[in-house]
């Protein structure tokens, strides 16, 4: 693991803050002053200002994000954040983003490599959204969503689309373009009135009210680590 990631996982500082500590010569690995390119193995000894550092245990949290909460650790405008809402004893960060007005399933973790893999479209992690839209989309509009929609930053990948009611659509995507679901529905002429993510990978919100969170089970974590596991 790269040293800055190790320090971040240990809760010493953010990755950027850890890089500043390393540049200042305050970090030693096995007694030697470390550099930015230093990698840490499990048997290595890491010290900051002479004090030994141990990485925090890996933590995985599922949050039922309510509306009005931003998907960041801090907000310059003073709005409530998902990290503040979870208020975990360990430093966890959100995997991907949900808009402030979007509700639903959000994963937070301090497992950087897993978070990176889950956000990469190559691994095709299911993200299931329920959208209340303006008007009643036609079969042709739903077919267009399923085939992929041309957006200003490129064409979206094929999606799974189901009609839940005349103006309510369930959309399953594997990408993470900014405001993707909203822009897809806008592109086919049906702007979103409300948006809820009901499932992330195999994680559902069963038993979680808006604003509540829980730790993932070992089985759930194992499924997240295994590509293609339902």
54 half-sphere exposure, CB direction, 13 A CA radius: 2
Is 27 in the same domain as 81? no
Q: Quick check: helix, strand or coil at residue 20? A: helix
**pTM of this structure:** 0.80
| H or E element that contains 84 | helix 82-86
> Is residue 207 domain-shared with residue 178, that is, in the same domain?
no
113 and 135 share a domain?
A: no
178 shares its domain with 189: yes
Residue linked to tokens 């592109």: 187
pLDDT at residue number 228: 56
Is there a domain that residue 21 lies in?
Answer: yes
- Residue whose entry in the numeric block shows the structure tokens 């950087």: 112
Residue 82 domain-assigned? yes
Show the tokens assigned to 51: 């004090």
CATH number reported for the structural domain that contains residue 192 in this entry: 3.30.70.1560
Candidates 44, 75, 99, 126; catalytic one: 99
92, 122 contact by CB (below 8 A)? no
pLDDT at position 227: 60
Q: How far is CA 25 from CA 35, 46, 51, 152, in A?
A: 8, 13, 14, 45
- Are 131 and 195 in the same domain? yes
Strands 46-48 and 27-29: antiparallel
- Say how many domains are in the chain: 3
In a domain, 230, yes or no: no
Give me the residues of the chain with pLDDT under 50, please.
230
Q: Residue 80: which domain range?
A: 60-121+202-225
Q: Is 99 a catalytic residue?
A: yes
Are 75 and 164 part of one and the same domain? Answer: no
Q: 152 with 164, same domain?
A: yes
Selection from 65, 75, 67 nearest residue 193 by Cα: 67
**pLDDT of res. 111:** 86
- For residues 157 and 136, state if they share a domain: yes
Same structural domain, 105 and 132: no
Q: Which DSSP letter does residue 89 get?
A: S
- Taking the C-alpha atoms of 70, 73, 78 and 81 in order, what is their torsion angle to the nearest 10 degrees? 40
Query: What CATH number does the domain containing 33 carry?
Result: 3.10.290.10
Both 96 and 45 in one domain: the answer is: no
């Amino acid at each position: 693991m790269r040293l800055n990631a190790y320090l971040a996982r240990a809760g010493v500082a953010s990755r950027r803050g850890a890089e500043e500590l390393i540049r200042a010569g305050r970090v030693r690995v096995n007694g030697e002053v470390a550099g930015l390119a230093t990698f840490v193995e499990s048997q290595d000894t890491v010290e900051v200002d002479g004090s030994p550092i141990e990485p925090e245990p890996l933590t995985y949290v599922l949050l039922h994000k309510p509306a009005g909460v931003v998907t960041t650790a801090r907000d310059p405008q003073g709005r409530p954040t998902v990290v503040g809402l979870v208020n975990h004893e360990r430093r966890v960060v959100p995997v991907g983003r949900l808009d402030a007005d979007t509700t639903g399933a959000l994963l937070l973790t301090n497992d950087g490599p897993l978070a990176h893999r889950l956000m990469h479209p190559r691994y095709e992690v299911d993200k299931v959204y329920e959208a209340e839209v303006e008007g009643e989309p036609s079969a042709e509009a739903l077919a267009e969503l399923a085939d992929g929609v041309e957006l200003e930053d490129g064409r979206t990948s094929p999606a799974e689309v189901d009609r839940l009611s005349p103006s309510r659509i369930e959309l399953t995507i594997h990408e993470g373009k900014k405001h993707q679901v909203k822009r897809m529905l806008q592109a086919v002429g049906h702007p979103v009135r409300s948006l809820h993510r009901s499932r992330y990978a195999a994680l559902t919100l069963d038993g979680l009210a808006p604003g509540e969170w829980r730790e993932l089970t070992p089985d759930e974590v194992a499924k997240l680590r295994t590509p293609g596991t339902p």
